[in-house]
Structure 1
């Protein structure tokens, strides 16, 4: 799908894509920016850092692929929640089956943004590792990657929280670590943005 088509779908009155897909795409873009800066850090003068740079390229490309897959997974999870809520509830058996289906769908709908938070965390680690050795001509793209990773985590926090609000506590508690990680990710992203800004200003 082209970017124009995707944005048209995003703007349309349809259930998906929505904020969850946007969060995953933020992460994918962050990973792509890290990979780009790393690929610009393969000059002859960068030879001593080549093993690290090559590893970052490979890891960033993998994170981009996983993040794109999460964008699709988010749309599927959101659709499954809607389907579960439409299940019949006329008998006790139907109500029990419906509740179980809703809970399972909500858990998956929370799992996907939690995985996006993990990706954002990993991408920030790669960006921070690249900053000291990366090609200074494209250093601002490391800052842009940090900002995109931050947006991915913050948007994912909203999507985790809204699903947890409808889950029993014993199921929702499993996502406490992901929510705490959001705070860490945003703090690290802000610090990396500041480091890049300092490098730009000299």
Structure 2
């Protein structure tokens, strides 16, 4: 999400209501949203869906001893999917708010001050949304790692795909956080320092889980 956009175009409907074809058409179009922030949120949602799918395939009779854990993972992954999907909509709204703030008048000291305050508030929200996507990716990745040792081996590669989706969600979110906090005063941008550090740790965990899945497939 770039702070330089001045468009106030909004998506016609939520990402949960759009067809995949329409989403990709809008993504490819010369429109301010959807963009990389929505893509990051949908990566997290897809990762959560993959975890839930593997868990649902791990409900065979032979999985009975692990059923309480599997059921908890299913519920948690489904909830994370819903939150991540909502964050795709939130990102589009935040992008629009940044553009609106930059369009505010600045022809007097009072209006300039109000415009600056509005821009900073919009940029904070535009960074908060991808930071929340990182939270979702982190949780989904933890669920994937927990499921990996007990998951149905016939669909274990989808655990690796989920890890990759979480990694993409976090790495893409990093870009959106960075570009928005770059224009914030130091006191405002500092609040995002911790999540940026977490992204490096998260991507390393995702890479490690991917490698574990590859190893399991090659055994």
TM-score (norm 2): 0.92
Measured in 1, the distance between the counterparts of 2:186 and 2:172 equals: 22
| 1:136 equivalenced with 2:136 (yes/no) | no
| 1:113 equivalenced with 2:130 (yes/no) | yes
- SS class of match (2:156): helix
More helix by share: 1
What is the match of residue 117 of structure 2? 100
**Alpha-carbon displacement from aligned partner over 1:105-161 (angstroms, at most 9, x marks no partner):** 000000000000111110010000000000000000000000000000000000000
**Alpha-carbon displacement from aligned partner over 1:42-95 (angstroms, at most 9, x marks no partner):** 000000000000000000000000000000000000000000000000011100
In structure 1, list runs of 5 or more residues that go unmatched.
none
Measured in 1, the distance between the counterparts of 2:195 and 2:134 equals: 7
Measured in 2, the distance between the counterparts of 1:123 and 1:186 equals: 13
| Structure 1 residue runs of 4 or more that deviate by more than 6 Å after TM superposition | none
Measured in 2, the distance between the counterparts of 1:199 and 1:177 equals: 33
| 1:90 equivalenced with 2:90 (yes/no) | no
| 1:66 equivalenced with 2:77 (yes/no) | no
Measured in 2, the distance between the counterparts of 1:111 and 1:184 equals: 19
- 1:18-57 to structure 2, matched below 5 A, reads 18-57=35-74
- Between the two proteins, the alignment pairs up a number of residues equal to 202
What is the match of residue 172 of structure 1? 189
- 1:125-164 to structure 2, matched below 5 A, reads 125-164=142-181
In structure 2, list runs of 5 or more residues that go unmatched.
1-17
What is the match of residue 194 of structure 1? 211
Measured in 1, the distance between the counterparts of 2:195 and 2:80 equals: 17
